[in-house]
């Protein structure tokens, strides 16, 4: 590997290739679902759409020059928020449409058994070549996920690991769907709307997991309470005040903390040592962290009860 000294560059290239392959698999699933009029195939393709979003978010995290080097700290900017809201609209419309059609087909079924008359109400046209094509798509997704997990371990890339787990989950769902399609081919056509409903439910859970892992700031206001951080920091010798504390990320995995410090005049020359002590103390209590500190001189006009509060204007800067 010629670029082993540049893990972020390698991760970016792998994620870019993964995105195109995921879009190709998505096109195959949508085409197969449309050609066979299979609601379960269309519902499963929603999972691949979520995989595409996961890959794009990972690619943005690795490529953004504003990210602190090292292990990625997940947040969100305008681009990520726009993509998420757009996908919520698309998924919402698609889920409700497929769910409504599935319920209609199930209600039209007299009994959950394989009977020839159901062909008129559930016109699913499944063929062996299409099942074989989907099996190839499953093998491609599984191989891609395994390869990504291997590279994630080698490069210690959080972005690759999270994205690989998401694609691997979709691959196993595709395997379950293949079993259902074989049943539909044998005449159990009621499986199609039933699988579609189940896949829509899992798609909602999958989308929530992507937001939880890659955009925690959209569903969590802070990673660590400012008051808790302030209490730890003010125990360090030389710290007079600590305020405008912001944290994001996931405790135990990686957290980015920003704060403003006021040092006693006698300790100004030891500022670097104090910052190292602060980071070590917070890491001891909360795990991996990155601390960004802005130092200020000791001032009497700053009220003592201001320590540990958050600035609303500064909070807006987190979403730029």
The pLDDT value given to residue 5 = 63
The domain locations on the chain are 7-218, 226-317
CA quadruple 227, 230, 232, 236: dihedral, nearest 10: -160
Q: Of 315, 255, 309, 318, whose CA–CA distance to 282 is shortest?
A: 255
The first and second tokens of residue 155, run together, are 């490069």
Strand partners, 248: 256
pLDDT in tens, 17-41: 999 999 999 999 999 888 888 899 9
* pLDDT < 70 regions, the chain: 1-7, 64-77, 109-123, 216-221, 297-320
The pLDDT value given to residue 74 = 52
**Cα separation of 155 and 99, whole Å?**
41
The pLDDT value given to residue 122 = 46
Q: Of 320, 267, 253, whose CA–CA distance to 297 is shortest?
A: 267
**Cα separation of 155 and 176, whole Å?**
31
Residues in the chain: 320
Sequence-separated (6 or more) residues with CB below 8 Å from residue 6: none
DSSP string spanning 107-169? HT-SSSS--TTHHHHS-----HHHHHHHHHHHHHHHHHHHHHHHHHHHHT-HHHHHHHHHHHH
Instruction: Note the CATH number of domain 226-317.
Output: 3.30.70.1350
Q: Of 307, 233, 242, 245, whose CA–CA distance to 274 is shortest?
A: 233
Quickly list H helices, 37-77.
39-63
Q: How many CB atoms within 10 Å of residue 99?
A: 17
The pLDDT value given to residue 308 = 36
């Amino acid at each position: 590997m010629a670029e082993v000294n540049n893990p972020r560059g390698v991760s970016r290239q792998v994620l870019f290739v993964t995105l195109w392959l995921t879009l190709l698999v998505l096109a195959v699933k949508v085409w197969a679902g449309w050609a066979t009029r299979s609601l379960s195939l269309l519902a499963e393709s929603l999972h691949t759409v979520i995989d595409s979003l996961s890959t794009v978010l990972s690619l943005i995290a690795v490529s953004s020059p504003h990210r602190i080097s090292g292990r990625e700290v997940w947040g969100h900017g305008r681009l990520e928020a726009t993509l998420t809201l757009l996908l919520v609209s698309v998924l919402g419309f698609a889920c409700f449409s497929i769910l409504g059609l599935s319920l209609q087909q199930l209600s039209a079924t007299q009994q959950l058994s394989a009977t020839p008359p159901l062909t008129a109400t559930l016109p699913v046209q499944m063929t062996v070549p299409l099942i074989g094509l989907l099996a190839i798509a499953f093998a491609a997704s599984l191989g891609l996920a395994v390869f990504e997990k291997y590279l994630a371990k080698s490069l210690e890339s959080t972005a690759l690991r999270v994205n690989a787990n998401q694609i691997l989950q979709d691959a196993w769902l595709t395997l379950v769907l293949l079993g259902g399609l074989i049943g539909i081919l044998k005449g159990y056509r009621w499986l199609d709307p039933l699988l579609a409903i189940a896949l829509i439910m899992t798609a909602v859970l999958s989308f929530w997991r992507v937001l939880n892992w890659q955009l925690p700031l959209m569903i969590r206001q802070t990673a660590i309470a400012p008051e808790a951080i302030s209490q730890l920091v003010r125990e360090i010798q030389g710290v007079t005040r600590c305020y405008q504390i912001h944290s994001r990320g996931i405790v135990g995995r990686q957290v980015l903390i920003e704060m403003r410090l006021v040092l006693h005049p006698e300790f100004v020359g030891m500022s670097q040592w104090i910052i190292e002590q602060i980071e070590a103390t917070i890491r001891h209590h909360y795990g991996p962290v990155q601390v960004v500190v802005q130092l200020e001189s000791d001032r009497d006009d700053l009220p003592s009860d201001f320590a540990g509060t958050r600035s609303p204007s500064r909070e807006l800067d987190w979403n730029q």
